[in-house]
Amino acid sequence: MINSHKTIGVFLCGIGWDYKQELCRLLNIAAKEYGHNLLIFNFIGRIGEKYDDYGAYEDRLLDIIPFDCLDAIIFENSNIFSDDIRKKIHRSIAKCSCPVVAISEPCKEFYEVLFDNEVGITEMVEHFAKHHGFTEIGYLSGIKGHPDAVERLSAFKAAMKNNGLPEEGAGIFHGNFWYDCARSAAEFFIEKGLPQAVICANDHMAISLCSEFEKRGVRVPEDICISGCDCIDEGKIFFPRISTIERNVSDAAFSAISLIDDLLKGKKRERKIVLPTRNIYNYSCGCSKGTLRDECIQRNDVLSNTRVFRYHIFDTEAAMLEMNRVSDIGQIADTFGRYCCNFGGFEKFFLFAYCNEKGEPSYETAFDSPTDQTVPAIWMDRYGTSERPKGICPITEFLPHETGDEPVCYYISHIHFGSHCFGYSAIKMISTDPFNEFYNIWLLNIAVSLESLLHKNNIHQLMRELESESIHDKLTGMLNRRGFEKKYQAAFDKARKQSCSVAAFVIDMDKLKKINDVYGHTEGDFAIKTLGRIISDCCTENEIAGRTGGDEFYVFAFGYSEEKAKQFEKRFYDALDAFNRSVNKPYDLYASIGIYMADISLHASPEDYLKQADERMYTMKREHKKRSAEKK
């Protein structure tokens, strides 16, 4: 699909998180080492604690992924996904015939690369019980029913029992793997009488539990010891540094890619790989405190990162203001090119917008689901190694073909605003490092700007339609009096500069009242509409024609000769005769035409021409009445 190498699709959510950042980086390194491409499908999911509307529509990305072109799949099956999206991804990849490897959390239908949760928790219990001599140990669990939470809680109870302590310990509080459950947990353990230690099912809860105890005058580790799990970066710089259970992300990444490589080569492998963990005992459990120099170095790193982060915020604020003013897709691309330095170095960025058969893109016409065609809306290739598609691209192509043949890694994200689907982005970073959270902010900014463009285009379209309606006659579709006057004034200004001749035609239907009285106004409207069509068909050389009254029509022609005027009149009457012969109506369609032609310099205004033509039209009408009377 991209080049000659096999392509592995990776499905994960929340790349901005420390663990996901490291996992993406190491998967990229491992894939390059084994000679495979990576397509990492980036799902943003819930934004913060409260906003989950964006994630509710991200499943549309699944509708355009070329699953048949993926040679293998990695599913990072973590709890950051919403249950709905996780189930939809699961259903989609379960249909694939290629190898699928689930990592982080169990997924028995696929190959699994998992960490041994039991050993780490067991060793942590033994550390508190044997090394510290604690007998009152509480437990802060994760979400009830969550695989990791169930496995870790089970290991805690078994380890407590093996160490001669009550299975429930000094109390078990069910949290949610996140910071916001620590307040209730702290109150729970204080009411229990404050145990000697609390083991937490992950570092997020451990960090926030330390803070909640400190707020209540309970010191860590002097009054209570705390440990976490998963060894996140924040726990390494938090004070007191968190005792934790480290999961080696490198082991997970290389094990998954190695497993896929063997399966693609036809080798048989066990369906489950269980990776060991390593316990790290820091100051939160009263162990290694660390030196003052180490603490200062880490503090300096934090200050440096904060300073860089602040500059990135400034760039983001400036970009938001610029993006709020965009009026076309080119300005979005320009703004992105100016301010896109805050999420990491990238080599390529593409935005493919969905479009319909007419080539109308999603920021001009609303789509509530992806289409099978796209147009390259934003194209940034810093080294020119991808050829920009010309015109409309079928969705089956998905990504441009690489000119080189080195293994590549692209991150794919769906771009939408609510139910409006705009397209998808593809980014290739310069190094093996993934983008940071600022990239997702860019994607959201672009989505908002595209929604704004869509609204602006809709407003402009509505204005064009209203303008068109205001100058066109609803019955015939021709110019009405306002439109006719507006257009002929501009044409006369131009004609005066060229000193050309002007021909005016005034056409009036004969016997319209009789048609209305005898056959009804529906037939009268049909007759007027037919006459308008005939007049429009006779205008073959940029003449200006309009319906200016009930059954009255005006035509202006510029640069006409006497011969051309006669040809127009002949075409008109021939068309009337043809209609009367071919259409089975109980009446014939007749009209009178008056023609006046003169050099533009002889008259001051267009109305002078129309007045002369109108008089000739009435002369013609009187002749028609006279002939009709003579026949009787």
Residue with tokens 């078990």: 172
**pLDDT reported for residue 80:** 62
Q: Tell me how far apart the alpha carbons of residues 376 and 594 are, in angstroms, rounded to a whole number.
A: 55
Within 465-576, strands assigned E span 501-510, 544-547, 552-558
pLDDT confidence of residue 469: 80
User: CA–CA separation, 381 vs 349, rounded Å?
Assistant: 7
Q: What is the pLDDT of residues 571-584, one digit of tens each?
A: 999 999 999 999 88
Judge whether residue 546 has pLDDT over 90: yes
Peptide bond before residue 240 is cis, with ω within 30 degrees of 0? yes
Give span(s): CATH 3.40.50.2300, the chain: 115-290
Mean local confidence (pLDDT), 48-68: 82
Q: Where are the domain boundaries for CATH 3.30.70.270 in the chain?
A: 481-631
With 0-12 CB in 10 A as exposed, 13-18 as middle and 19+ as buried, what is 194? middle
Query: How would CATH label the architecture of 481-631?
Result: 2-Layer Sandwich (3.30)
Q: How far is CA 213 from the centre of its chain?
A: 43
Residue 571, judged by CB atoms within 10 A of its CB (0-12, 13-18, 19+), counts as middle
Average pLDDT over the chain, rounded to an integer: 90
DSSP 130: I
| CATH C-level class of 115-290 | alpha beta
pTM of the model: 0.77
Q: Six-digit token pair at 144?
A: 């009830």
Query: CB-side exposure of 373: number of CA atoms within 13 Å?
Result: 12
Half-sphere exposure of 331 toward its Cβ, with a 13 Å CA cutoff? 14
What is the DSSP-derived secondary structure letter of residue 361? B
Give the pLDDT mean for 19-26: 93
Longest dimension (CA), the chain: 129
HSE-up (13 A, CA, CB side) for residue 526: 14
pLDDT, tens digit (0-9, with 9 covering 90-100), for 342-358 = 898 999 999 999 999 88
Report residue 49's pLDDT band, with 50, 70 and 90 as the boundaries: low
- Beta carbons within 10 angstroms of residue 118's beta carbon: 17
Estimate the crossing angle of helix 606-631 against helix 481-498, to 10 degrees: 120
Work out the pLDDT band at 79, boundaries 50, 70, 90: low
Helix (H) or strand (E) holding 409: strand 409-417
Contact yes or no for 282/127 (Cβ under 8 A): no
pLDDT of 84 reads 79
Q: Are strands 393-394 and 373-381 parallel, antiparallel or unpaired?
A: antiparallel
Highest mean pLDDT among 40-49, 241-250, 311-320, 599-608: 241-250
Q: What angle do CA 56, 61, 63 make, to 5 degrees?
A: 110
| 249 closest CA partner among 384, 103, 107 | 103
Per-residue pLDDT at 317: 86
Query: Which of 75-79, 236-240, 272-276 shows the lowest mean pLDDT across its residues?
Result: 75-79
Task: Quickly list DSSP for 209-274.
Answer: HHHHHHHTT--TTTT-EEE-SB--HHHHHSSSPPBEEEE-HHHHHHHHHHHHHHHHTT----SEEE
Please write the tens of the pLDDT for every residue from 510-544: 989 999 999 999 999 999 999 999 999 999 888 99
Give per-residue pLDDT as tens, 126-165: 999 999 999 999 999 999 988 889 999 999 999 999 999 9
Instruction: Give the containing element (helix H, strand E) for 490.
Output: helix 481-498
The answer to whether the CB of 580 falls within 8 A of the CB of 588 is yes
Q: Which residues of 369-385 are buried (b: 16+ CB within 10 A; e: fewer)?
A: ebbebbbbbbeebeeee
pLDDT tier, 292 (very low <50, low <70, confident <90, very high otherwise): low
Q: Binning pLDDT at 50, 70 and 90, where does residue 104 land?
A: confident
